């Protein structure tokens, strides 16, 4: 069970209750507003196609919270190959789709709070049961995001990210 005592925000100096344990990005880093008028581009809450050539899926990059049973989650976009994207969309509403092998992808979300870019990290995208976002596993490297996914994250770090994200969108 998580400590519910709140924290003092490093950005505004005010006391806040527990920070959110998940953040979601609305679109891949490569999406721009002018693509909304392109007939070969589409953005939904789960899938994105850019110019009919670049394919993305939104998934959940989960990080265990140290000292508890909960996870911190980034809602991120991952680029998939045309074949992997087609397979994913073909199985979108199929029960048992979670038996599918993981698909390789490139992380297509720049996450705040990391000293180096998170764009283009290698990932594996694991399909889950219908109605659940895929699980995004970052390649186990020394990148701080990969280290956090393997080793866990502290509530102090989550408070820091909340201060950063809630006050500097």
- pLDDT tens digits for the chain (169 residues)? 344 455 554 445 555 567 889 999 999 999 999 999 999 999 999 999 999 999 999 999 999 999 989 999 999 999 999 999 999 999 999 999 999 999 999 999 999 999 999 999 999 999 999 999 999 999 999 999 999 999 999 999 999 899 888 876 4
Separation CA 44–CA 84 (nearest Å) = 18
For the four alpha carbons of 100, 102, 104 and 109, in that order, the dihedral sign comes to positive
Alpha-carbon radius of gyration of the chain = 17
pTM for the full predicted model: 0.87
Look at the block and give the residue holding tokens 């980034």. 74
- Is residue 159 within 8 A of residue 113, CB to CB? The reply is no
The per-residue pLDDT for 16 is 54
Separation CA 48–CA 78 (nearest Å) = 10
Strand pairing class (22-24; 71-80): parallel
The per-residue pLDDT for 165 is 86
């Amino acid at each position: 069970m998580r400590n519910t005592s709140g924290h003092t925000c490093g950005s505004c100096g005010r006391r806040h209750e527990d920070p959110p344990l998940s953040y979601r990005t609305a679109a891949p880093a490569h999406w721009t507003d002018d693509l909304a008028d392109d007939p070969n581009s589409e953005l939904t809450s789960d899938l994105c196609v850019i110019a009919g050539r670049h394919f993305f899926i939104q998934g959940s990059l989960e990080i265990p919270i140290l000292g508890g049973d909960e996870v911190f989650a980034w809602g991120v976009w991952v680029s998939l190959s045309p074949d992997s994207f087609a397979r994913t969309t073909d199985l979108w509403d199929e029960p048992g789709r979670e038996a599918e092998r993981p698909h390789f992808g490139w992380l297509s979300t720049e996450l705040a709070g990391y000293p180096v870019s998170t764009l283009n990290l290698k990932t594996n995208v694991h399909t889950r049961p219908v109605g659940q976002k895929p699980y995004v596993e970052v390649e186990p490297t020394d990148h701080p995001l990969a280290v956090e996914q393997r080793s866990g994250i502290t509530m102090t770090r989550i408070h820091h990210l909340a201060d950063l994200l809630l006050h500097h969108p």
